Amino acid sequence: MVTQAGPSRARPLWVVCALGVLAVSMIAALLDGAADISPWQVVLQVVDWLPFFQVDSGLAPVEQGLLFELRLPRVLVAAVVGGLLAMAGAGYQGVFRNPLADPYLLGAAAGAGLAATAAIVLLPATTGSIPVAAFLGAVGGVLLAYTLGNTAGRAGGTATLVLAGVAVTSFLTAIQTFVQQFKVEELQRIYSWILGDVGGGWDQLWLVLPYAAVSAVLLLLHGRMLDVLSVGDEEATSLGLRAGRVRLMVLLAASLATAAAVAVSGLIGFVGIVVPHVVRRIAGGSYRIVLPLSLIGGAAFLVLADLVARTVIAPAELPIGVVTMFVGAPFFVVVLRMTRRAAT
């Protein structure tokens, strides 16, 4: 169960701190990479990109190109995707009043996985179709789970919805595995996609930004209502809140965020569950603070995870999904232990 909000005047301070962490993460991520460029030259080059500044970074055009076309958008995509996943996780956890809910719970990942696999197998000519397919698949998976959950149980019953999500996930994953068997030669590509990648360049950023903006605004606006919801449906209703409507809006916004993230990056696990938890441990359980801090913290987390993914065995790369789980899980346990000790 989530704890109630801390003193609300601390809120701006937390957000400022989190933004500071995010800024440091992004700068670090911009300075290091597989290409052997000195951090100082990167700094000069970044200054050169700023309007009204002209400095000579001494970088060759190819290196300038790789900084601007590869590294910079990659850092930005990682930030947006990480923010979306963590914020969606916080949203789902609020709706289901279950701290173990994550962005992939309601069949979003399975739907995206199936659709992306189908796109890879059936439309090999068009790599651009994978994000579109993943997006539609994620939305479709959630709609399927939601419809089943509502027909199977009482409308708005969150436990039924979660169980429907589990069933849909299993079923769609089975179909995906079935489809894979017919295109063995595409296994590598499907596998790469499932483990996640944020290296898509500016196109991916423009693709995800509108959805990111809409879902972020929607979710952040519902923070206060999720707080009211956390006291229980009956109390919330007596306070004048239409619980079912709030749930549906948050579900839609979180699913939109998940679908957008999945579409540009594949399946990146653990961000959506670990970041909101850490935020809650540090800044308290009010969704008015958990949602924005998850957005910023998730962004910082994924930017750093991607930095690890592309530098730890450079010039080879690790799939980012491996890093989020490998680094995230122990970190998560440490935070749990530390805050529990502090609490007792």
Partner 1 sequence: MRPVRTALAGALLGTLLLAGCGQDGGTTTASAPTTAPASPSGDFPVTVEAGNGKVTIAKKPQRIVSLSATHTETLFAIGAGPQVVAVDDQSNHPPEAPKTDLSGFKPNVEAIVAQKPDLVIVSDDQDQVVAELGKVNVPVLLQPAATKLDEAYEEIAELGAATGNKAKADEVVAGMKTAIDGLAAQAPKDKQLTYYHELDTTPYAATSKTFIGQIYGLFGLTNIADKAPDAAGGYPKLSAEFVAQADPDLIFLADVKCCQQSKDTLAKRPGWKNLSAIENDQVIQLDDDIASRWGPRVVELAEAIGAAVSKAGTS
* Residues within the interface to partner 1 (CB under 8 A): 33-37, 61-63, 65-71, 73, 124-125, 127, 181, 184-186, 188-189, 192, 197, 199-203, 310, 313-319
Name the residue nearer to partner 1 (CB basis): 170 or 188. 188
Name the residue nearer to partner 1 (CB basis): 145 or 318. 318
Cβ 302 vs Cβ 320: under 8 Å:
yes
Q: How far is the CB of 46 from partner 1 (least distance, A)?
A: 15
**Distance of alpha carbon 73 from alpha carbon 104, whole angstroms:** 25
Q: How far is the CB of 47 from partner 1 (least distance, A)?
A: 20
Name the residue nearer to partner 1 (CB basis): 87 or 119. 119
Residues in Cβ contact with 51 at an 8 Å cutoff, skipping those fewer than 6 apart = none
Q: How far is the CB of 202 from partner 1 (least distance, A)?
A: 7
Name the residue nearer to partner 1 (CB basis): 7 or 61. 61
Q: How far is the CB of 220 from partner 1 (least distance, A)?
A: 31
For residue 65, the SS3 value is: helix
Residue that the structure tokens 């530390």 belong to: 338
**Distance of alpha carbon 145 from alpha carbon 75, whole angstroms:** 33
Taken as a whole, the chain contains a residue count of 344
Name the residue nearer to partner 1 (CB basis): 149 or 321. 321
**Distance of alpha carbon 121 from alpha carbon 33, whole angstroms:** 32
For residue 302, the SS3 value is: helix
**Distance of alpha carbon 276 from alpha carbon 142, whole angstroms:** 21
**Distance of alpha carbon 139 from alpha carbon 190, whole angstroms:** 19
Q: How far is the CB of 27 from partner 1 (least distance, A)?
A: 17
